[in-house]
């Protein structure tokens, strides 16, 4: 017997994509209203990417936008067409997408057919069966980074974590990386020195002198020398030996911390330095990049890492805008977005004006961990892993 999934095309495609990935119906019927034409084409491309051919996908483009009477007439006409095209099909209607009026109109139709009805609760990670027998269906973990991006109309390009050399280096430096994160609240001046002294494009990096009276700073620099990140040129003077070390000191350590903490927390899919493009425009020149792309139980956490001064030259506004934009376009409404900053997010300017990047982030539903708070990242990850909710102080 043929299995058929019916779904209303929505601007949040994961609600339809996840049940199809889990149950793999033989046929898919998409109900599309006029305003959702682009989303329907995008979703059809996503189905092609996971192995569905054109003959397995039907798109009905006559779903009314509104009007309960019009929707009722549409439902009757749809019932006739379903009876003719799929006379013996085992039908599942995914009632997650569409408006409440659409759901009410189709509910009566599908009740008459005794169709199985499901609803995906993405917020709580549940799939509920509403008919014929109500109950909860265990939701499998089916999304990978590639599949998540595919559903959102994006294409995976690359990630630092797909490079075994990068992973080996991150593991090799893990001890000092965790030490930096643990003591971040007391290392702000040292981080600022690194940013001022070493530029990523500098082929002959300058040396850095550390205050001999600051025990923690000297301890950190000696640990960095033991890990090969810097070399000691004098008693309290240090220099990075290569471009990789400069990259680490001026921001790479925080990205490696995201990877190491997420793996330790048991997150299923961890990508760092992920680049992606728009599937409709495959040219690589317009790619986007996100520092952390973490998936667990079909939920996504987007992480942007910053170790420099966000408050200089208005970069705090830029980074909040970037994370908000990527979250909306590649993450969807259920994605959690996190700004992870080694520097404080509050600042008083020379004119005594208070700049609060944390408040700006909060206004766009972006979570934050800054300075000494980043030591709690792993603990917060575990809470997110288990509950699907982000809490900076679980």
165-192 confidence digits (pLDDT tens): 999 999 999 999 999 999 999 999 999 9
Give residue 313's pLDDT: 47
Q: What is the rounded average pLDDT for all residues in the chain?
A: 90
Looking at 215, 247, 279, the residue that finishes a domain is 247
Cα-based distances in Å from 387 to 124, 301, 390: 8, 13, 8
Are both 184 and 280 inside the same structural domain?
A: no
Whichever domain contains 377, its CATH number is: 3.40.1350.10
Are both 369 and 313 inside the same structural domain?
A: yes
| Average confidence (pLDDT) over 140-148 | 96
Do 131 and 115 touch, CB atoms closer than 8 A?
yes
Percentage above 70 pLDDT, the chain: 92
Which one has a higher pLDDT value, 333 or 364?
Answer: 364
- Smallest Cα–Cα separation from 56: which of 31, 78, 25, 14? 25
pLDDT at 193 > cutoff 60: yes
Instruction: Locate 143 and state its tokens.
Output: 């999304």
What confidence category does residue 359 fall into, taking pLDDT thresholds of 50, 70 and 90?
Answer: confident
**How many domains, in total, are found in the chain?**
3
pLDDT digits (tens, 9 = 90+) for 116-127: 999 998 778 889
Contacts for 64 with CB less than 8 Å, ≥ 6 apart: 33, 70, 71, 74
Give residue 393's pLDDT: 64
CA distance 160 to 165: 9
Assigned domain for 273 exists: yes
Assigned domain for 146 exists: no
How is the beta sheet containing 336-341 ordered, strand by strand? 154-158, 269-278, 288-296, 299-306, 336-341, 367-370
Assigned domain for 393 exists: no
Looking at 200, 225, 247, the residue that finishes a domain is 247
Whichever domain contains 100, its CATH number is: 3.40.50.10770
Long-range interactions of 36-41: CB distance < 8 A, separation 24+? 36/9, 36/10, 36/11, 37/61, 39/9, 39/10, 39/11, 39/13, 40/9
pLDDT digits (tens, 9 = 90+) for 201-258: 566 678 888 887 899 999 999 999 999 999 998 777 899 999 899 999 999 999 999 9
Looking at 247, 277, 312, the residue that finishes a domain is 247
Are both 121 and 184 inside the same structural domain?
A: no
- Smallest Cα–Cα separation from 299: which of 153, 98, 142? 142
Q: β-pairing, 336-341 with 367-370?
A: parallel
Give residue 31's pLDDT: 97
Assigned domain for 148 exists: no
Q: What's the angle, vertex CA 24, arms to CA 23 and CA 26, rounded to 5?
A: 125
Domain limits for position 190: 165-247
Do 2 and 90 touch, CB atoms closer than 8 A?
yes
Which burial class, exposed, middle or buried, applies to 312 when counting CB atoms under 10 A from its CB (0-12, 13-18, 19+)?
Answer: exposed
Are both 108 and 195 inside the same structural domain?
A: no
Are both 90 and 14 inside the same structural domain?
A: yes
pLDDT digits (tens, 9 = 90+) for 294-345: 999 999 999 999 987 655 545 667 888 899 999 988 998 889 999 999 988 8
- Smallest Cα–Cα separation from 91: which of 111, 127, 73, 116? 116
Whichever domain contains 219, its CATH number is: 1.10.10
Assigned domain for 147 exists: no
Do 295 and 148 touch, CB atoms closer than 8 A?
yes
Assigned domain for 240 exists: yes
| Average confidence (pLDDT) over 120-139 | 89
Are both 270 and 378 inside the same structural domain?
A: yes
Collapse the DSSP code of 178 into the 3-class scheme (helix H, G, I; strand E, B; otherwise coil) and give the result.
Answer: helix
């Amino acid at each position: 017997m043929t299995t058929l999934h019916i779904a209303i095309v929505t601007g949040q495609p994961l609600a339809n994509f996840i049940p199809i990935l889990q149950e793999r119906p033989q046929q898919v019927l998409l109900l599309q209203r006029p305003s959702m034409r682009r989303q329907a084409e995008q979703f059809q491309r996503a189905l092609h990417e996971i192995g569905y051919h054109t003959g397995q996908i039907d798109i009905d483009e006559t779903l009314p936008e509104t009007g309960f009477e019009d929707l009722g007439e549409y439902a009757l006409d749809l019932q006739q067409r379903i009876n003719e095209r799929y006379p013996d099909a085992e039908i599942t209607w995914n009632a997650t997408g569409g408006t409440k009026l659409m759901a009410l109109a189709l509910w009566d139709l599908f009740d008459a057919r005794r169709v199985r009805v499901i609803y995906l609760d993405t917020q709580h990670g549940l799939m509920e069966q509403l008919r014929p027998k109500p109950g909860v269906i265990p939701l499998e973990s089916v999304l990978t980074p590639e599949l998540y991006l595919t559903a959102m109309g994006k294409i995976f390009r690359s990630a630092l974590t797909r490079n075994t050399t990068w992973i080996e280096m991150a593991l090799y430096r893990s001890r000092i990386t965790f030490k930096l994160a643990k003591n971040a609240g007391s290392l702000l001046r040292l981080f600022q020195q690194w940013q001022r002294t070493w530029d990523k494009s500098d082929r002959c990096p300058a040396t850095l002198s550390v205050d001999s009276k600051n025990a923690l700073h000297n301890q950190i620099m000696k640990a960095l020398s033991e890990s090969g990140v810097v070399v000691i040129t004098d008693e309290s003077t240090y220099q990075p030996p290569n471009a990789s070390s400069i990259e680490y000191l001026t921001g790479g350590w925080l990205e490696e911390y995201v990877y190491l903490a997420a793996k330790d927390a048991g997150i299923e899919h961890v990508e760092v330095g992920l680049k992606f493009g728009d599937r409709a425009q495959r040219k690589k020149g317009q790619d986007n990049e996100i520092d952390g792309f973490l998936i667990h139980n079909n939920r996504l956490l987007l992480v942007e890492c910053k170790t420099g001064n966000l408050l200089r030259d208005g970069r705090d506004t830029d980074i909040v805008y970037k994370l908000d934009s990527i979250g909306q376009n590649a993450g969807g409404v259920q994605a959690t977005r996190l700004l992870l900053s080694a520097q404080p997010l509050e600042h008083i300017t020379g004119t005594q004006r208070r700049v609060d990047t944390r408040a700006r982030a909060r206004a766009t539903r972006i979570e934050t961990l800054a300075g000494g708070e980043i030591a709690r990242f792993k603990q917060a990850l575990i809470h997110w892993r288990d509950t699907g909710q982000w809490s900076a102080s679980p």
